[in-house]
Chain A
Amino acid sequence: MTETMTARLLAFVIAAALLAAGCAPPDHRGQFFGQIEPPQGQVLRYISGSEPETLDPQMSTGQPEARLAIALYEGLVEYHPKTMEAIPAVAERWTIDEDAQEFVFFLRRNAKFSNGDPITARDFVYGFRRGLRPALASRVAYLAYDIKYAEAFNNGSAFVRDPGTGRFLLASEAPQTSPDGSQTVAAGVAAPPDEEALFKTELGRGGEDAAPDTPFHKFIHAPERLVVPADAKDREKALKADAKLAALVAGKEFVPVTEEHIGVEAVDDHTLRVTLRQPAPFFLGLLPHQFFRAIHEKTVERFGVNWTKPSNIVSSGTHMLFEHKPYNQVVVVKNPQYWDAAAVRLERIVFYPLEDNTTMMNLYKAGDVDATYNHTVPASWLKSGVRHVKDYMDAPENVSEFYAINTTKPPMNDVRVRKAFNMAVDKAALADYRVVVKPNYTLVPTIFHKYPRPKGDQFDPERAKQLLAEAGYGGADGKFDPKKFPSSEVELNYNTNESNRQIAEFIQAQWKQNLGVTIALRNTEWKTFLPMRSRLEYKGFARSGWVGDYMDPYTYLSLYIVKEGGANGTGWWDAKYVKMLEDANRETDELKRLTMLAKAEEYMLEFQPMLTLVVPATSWMKKPYVKGMYPNPGTLHAWKFVYIEHDRAKWDQGTPDMTTDTLAD
């Protein structure tokens, strides 16, 4: 069976099922959807998404895995059930130095693995280092790249040492690439910097009293060393491309960067110090990610790839693995060794990995599951009234949906054309059509309340036509002439998916109606679509979306700091923009920093490298007796706070109040 056929078939399955479902409006006998009989005791049956790739928290990338990892592993910090901001977990408290480059975590003394071993700072050091090992080849290792020398270790780099003096060359000595892309004279060639003086200024920074100074601390706070590829062949290539660098490192020794060089240090058993390569105020928000959660060294080293099998695994979270039947169920039970076991109420969580939305909703309606993950309610069910039942959960999501624009090919290399196409789409109408999503005129979604978001271009078809006329597609009367526009050079590309197709058709209709141009739709199978987009092998527009890694606008704005390929997919890059972001991250005052980020976004939107669309809604369901589970922006739940309420009087009567961060009891 070919894949398009399969995709079509699946689409058809869903469509057919929807048709069937359309005949069955939500159960009007109650205000809830289907059966609402709570399970015996404290058991939660939860649909967690696709079959998890692995239970190894450092090897998985997705939310389905994160939902299990939160039960099985605890990190330094945990997601707040409502806001998803970092709250204490293994770390009782922490200090962050004033330029947000050094984080010191103070670990609680009673944290234990499921086999009774204590969880210490050394376990986190081990975990961070292991995740970055090139041989492990973790796909999410980049999450830790903000840690000093983490990237250098992960990409197999080497320090450069002068064999005569034994001194390591510094990054500042390398020929600098100036913002405009041209190379300037190496800063360090004339006079090597005074290491001692730099050292003192580094140590004079705030936050240093948090933990005692150590030799490693001195090393990691010394000015950043120069790194070049450790592999001789790769190095040769890099040096060939950069004659000045080649001259600088000629005759020098190359010392491979090892995992001991990474900026993470166990000052003592209960103090962990993490040093970053540059200020990153958002770093704390990254740490609840499964990549950074505590893993048990002896188990991992002993069993290798099989360490997460039920017979081998040692976990650190609120629950431990009881059973894993792929494509069927993962069962976890309460971990009696967990430091706060008294507060954990769920005795057992059964995760069902499922893929078909209709099947999920059927199970939910029949009362066989208690809650589902995000985007599980099919669009037509929403329209038929499911969103009005009291157990429907709706909240804006930490996601932005947009179309990347290939800014390197005409006619889309003209910013006026890009802006015109953006202004010619009525996003409010799109949001209405998609029922529960919210229109978005910027790249950053609307969920960050403190962020003074720029306005972005609103729907304005007249202005759009004017812009296109200015771009040279006007007739004799100076007005936009659709016939002059090379519409065959533009396509709307999306990866094969029913809901993507609906959105693409909507946009197509908008352009037809508002501009009079017909843009062709083109769908491509997912894995084929990805390289096409990242290599800019498309013309016009390519569907894109971004799930925030953490709760900060920077997770979106940083998409365009990579020049080529990367997550960019638009071919747009601007030195000033990168500089604006860097400056913002150096700002210590939170509001000032957000304002600077907003300025940067405003600047970026002037170039319109993407067509902004909507902020999706989380759109999922939970039975009223499931408490402590909130429609947070990432649909990731700290299971510690979740429980089954058997007292009907205390059941939820709608979406829990999300305006405060207090947790209901």
Chain B
Amino acid sequence: MFRFIVRRLLVTVPMVLVVISLTWALIRLAPGNFYEGERKLPASIEKNIRAKYGLDQPVYVQYGHVMGNILRLDFGNSLRYENETVNEILRRTVPVSAAIGVSAYLLALLVGVTMGTVAALKQNSKLDYAAMGLSMLGISVPNFVLGPILVLVFSLSLYWLPPARWGGFPSWNLLLPVLTLSAVYMAYIARLTRAGMLEVLRSDYIRTARAKGLTERQVVMRHALRGGLLPVVSFTGPALAILITGTVVVERIFAMPGLGNYFINANLNRDEPLILGIVAFASILVLVFNLLVDIAYGIIDPRIRY
């Protein structure tokens, strides 16, 4: 197990570097640049800008410079927001995105697993149909539809909740965005749990457990859920990474100062250091969560050994 983790972590470093290099190349291949706007700049000003940011140097020098800095974990200053370093931006925005993302994740997990389990235990009952119908709705209604509807109802008609903006953690401002964000995940998790549980409940070891005379509660909580949740675990690992790196749509609708907004704008602005920083962060997160998922597999399912 320990060797497995070390080996995986060692692979992570070169993988992140490859991802960064590819991203860098893509940015450079994309037409346009960070400084140009509606009005074309005079050639002299363009030259000053290119000199200031080292864009007049050979490409390999620039690449070396970028990678050198990144190896020292310094992504430099944003090109768009020049008095902010990428590290500062990440430090400030990740907690915001994480607050929304983790809350949504926990909510989704709690409600989804409960719904799925109940549905599986009462298969083909009204409860099952209701839960699965609801989850089908959750999957079908995208968050950019759900968000405005929630705002319309709770903020603009009832005037109960603020329609947008960050209000710290925890605050009422978080309720609508978290709800909006978690809906889809909730629905997926409910369906995955139900399917997983149905399969497990029919398996031999559950029959054995029942035969042992365990209570239904013990059967479900100790034996069935463990196996039934495996698909959920493999789904939620990467999902959590995505949730923490920010979700563009929800952050935009609710004007949350998270990473998602920056990510989208960094791309639109060709803000190279910021794009690289966020991509590096996101890829590390995805790799780490995938590793955690694999470790969790080993713990949950006694059949899996590394």
- CB contact between A527 and one of B33, B49, B93, B148 (< 8 Å): that residue: B33
Hey, which chain A residues are within 8 Å of B305, CB to CB? none
B248 CB to nearest chain A CB (Å): 7
Given known contacts A6-B248, A56-B83, is B264 in contact with A154 (CB within 8 Å)? no
A472 within 8 A of B: no
B84 within 8 A of A: yes
Interface centre among A16, A307, A309, A362 (most CB of B within 10 A): A362
Hey, which chain B residues are within 8 Å of A358, CB to CB? 148, 253
B139 within 8 A of A: no
A20 within 8 A of B: yes
Mark each residue of chain B from 233 to 262: 1 if its CB lies under 8 Å from any CB of chain A, else 0: 000000000000000110011110110011
Task: State whether A6 touches B264 (Cβ < 8 A).
Answer: yes
Q: Which of B119-178 contact A (CB under 8 A)?
A: 144-145, 148-149, 151-152, 155-157, 159, 162-166
Mark each residue of chain A from 228 to 257: 1 if its CB lies under 8 Å from any CB of chain B, else 0: 000000000000000000000000000000
Hey, which chain B residues are within 8 Å of A356, CB to CB? 252-253, 255
Hey, which chain B residues are within 8 Å of A527, CB to CB? 30-33, 36, 268-270
Mark each residue of chain B from 262 to 296: 1 if its CB lies under 8 Å from any CB of chain A, else 0: 10110111100000000000000000000000000
Mark each residue of chain B from 35 to 74: 1 if its CB lies under 8 Å from any CB of chain A, else 0: 1111111111101110111000000000000000000000
CA distance A197 to B228 in the complex (A): 98
Hey, which chain A residues are within 8 Å of B223, CB to CB? none
B81 within 8 A of A: yes
Interface centre among A355, A365, A530, A568 (most CB of B within 10 A): A530
B268 CB to nearest chain A CB (Å): 7
Task: State whether A326 touches B33 (Cβ < 8 A).
Answer: no
Q: Which of A134-160 contact B (CB under 8 A)?
A: 134-139, 141-142, 145, 151, 154-156
Closest to A34 in B: B156
Hey, which chain B residues are within 8 Å of A205, CB to CB? none
A354 within 8 A of B: yes
- CB contact between A366 and one of B77, B148, B163 (< 8 Å): that residue: B163
CA distance A525 to B77 in the complex (A): 25
Binds B, one of A7-15, A67-75, A595-603, A655-663: A7-15
CA distance A466 to B163 in the complex (A): 56
Task: State whether A305 touches B252 (Cβ < 8 A).
Answer: no
- CB contact between A326 and one of B30, B92, B164 (< 8 Å): that residue: B92
A363 within 8 A of B: yes
Interface centre among A23, A154, A529 (most CB of B within 10 A): A154
Hey, which chain A residues are within 8 Å of B157, CB to CB? 24
CA distance A135 to B54 in the complex (A): 12
Given known contacts A359-B252, A363-B165, is B52 in contact with A154 (CB within 8 Å)? no
Given known contacts A3-B267, A359-B255, is B77 in contact with A134 (CB within 8 Å)? no
Task: State whether B48 touches A328 (Cβ < 8 A).
Answer: no
Task: State whether B81 touches A51 (Cβ < 8 A).
Answer: yes
- Number of A residues near B (Cβ < 8 Å) is 73
Task: State whether A3 touches B148 (Cβ < 8 A).
Answer: no
A224 CB to nearest chain B CB (Å): 17
Task: State whether B254 touches A359 (Cβ < 8 A).
Answer: yes
Given known contacts A362-B164, A530-B40, is B253 in contact with A17 (CB within 8 Å)? yes
Hey, which chain A residues are within 8 Å of B163, CB to CB? 359, 362-363, 365-366, 368
Closest to A145 in B: B42
A531 within 8 A of B: yes
B82 within 8 A of A: yes
B226 within 8 A of A: no
Task: State whether A54 touches B82 (Cβ < 8 A).
Answer: yes
Closest to A231 in B: B47
- CB contact between A362 and one of B36, B47, B52, B155 (< 8 Å): that residue: B155
Given known contacts A9-B249, A366-B162, is B47 in contact with A155 (CB within 8 Å)? yes
Given known contacts A59-B82, A137-B52, A527-B268, is B44 in contact with A20 (CB within 8 Å)? no
Given known contacts A24-B157, A137-B52, A325-B257, is B268 in contact with A53 (CB within 8 Å)? no
Given contacts A6-B264, A363-B163, A569-B40, 17 further A-B contacts (CB under 8 A): A10-B252, A17-B253, A20-B152, A53-B81, A137-B53, A142-B41, A154-B44, A354-B255, A358-B253, A359-B164, A359-B252, A359-B253, A368-B162, A527-B269, A529-B32, A546-B38, A567-B40
Which 6 A-B pairs have CB atoms at the shortest separation, nearest pair first?
A527-B32, A155-B44, A327-B257, A362-B163, A137-B48, A137-B52
